[in-house]
Amino acid sequence: MDGRTTSCHFAYSIDKSHQEEPRIVSLRLYLVRHGETLANIQKIVVGQSDSPLTKLGQRQARKLGQCSILKDTSFWRRYSSDLGRAVHTAKLIDSHHTFQLDERLREIAKGARQGFPKSYTLDQCMAWFRERPEEIPKHESSADAWHRMSSFILQLFQEARQSESRGDRQNILVVCHSGTLRLLLHKLVPRAHPLLEVTSDTTGALDDSLRFQIPNTSLTIMDISVPESCIASLQEKSWIENVKSKLVELNWVGHFDNL
């Protein structure tokens, strides 16, 4: 040894093929609007009030439940809005399984317009409450409704992450309403999607002139997935910024034949 210090350098090669891929939590949502109601025929704004299914609406729901697209699918969970028209639809679609009722799936609250013809302006509706403003029904903005809807979706991701079959895509049947379905599509499906055209005002809120209709008992299928790490914190911002979505089917009504 001559007293000099020798510096040794070691090079490490990282084999990326052995790095663990981030775990993905995947859901396939089968989204159904309730059957035709009396208010639908009368063109009345229902919101979070209720209206019974018509005879046609009941047939629509039964026919959908008989279709292989639902009968041949193994569902991890089944949910319905707790409003009567959605609950009735869910029972007619599948009377052999229990649907969990969730108020977060309710229609968007329409405020003063609730119960009035769709042709009425807001000013016409408000005139009815001039002497009794305390009776104006609850109103929700798109942001209010999305807050509860996103809470529901996040809960699904959390429970799928903790389930025994984690790693598998979970199929979930949801019966709800046209307003909440449009909001879900608006938030999770890219605007440029060829099947979907959504308009918005300058604030980013949903516009009443959405360019697509959601027929009663139509079926929309959507795949959504996020990395597991994005839902661990239970924060909406984390998962919504990292969600990947695929619109598999929009407004499928194959059961309308021979209604």
Distances in Å between the Cα of 171 and the Cα atoms of 28, 30, 70, 212 are 5, 7, 10, 25
34, 88, 177, 186: the catalytic one is: 34
On whether the CB atoms of residues 137 and 115 are closer than 8 A, the answer is: yes
Q: Is 177 a catalytic residue?
A: no
Strand 100-101 to 24-33 pairing: unpaired
Return d(Cα 19, Cα 16) in angstroms, integer. Answer: 5
From the number of C-beta atoms within 10 Å of its C-beta (0-12, 13-18, 19+), residue 69 rates as: middle
Buried b (16+ CB within 10 A) or exposed e, 82-98: bbebbbbbbbbbbeeee
Return d(Cα 62, Cα 60) in angstroms, integer. Answer: 6
Q: Is 34 a catalytic residue?
A: yes
Distances in Å between the Cα of 161 and the Cα atoms of 20, 155, 158, 165, 228 are 17, 10, 5, 9, 7
Beta bridge partners of 206: 200
36, 107, 186, 255: the catalytic one is: 107
The residues annotated as belonging to the active site are: 34, 107
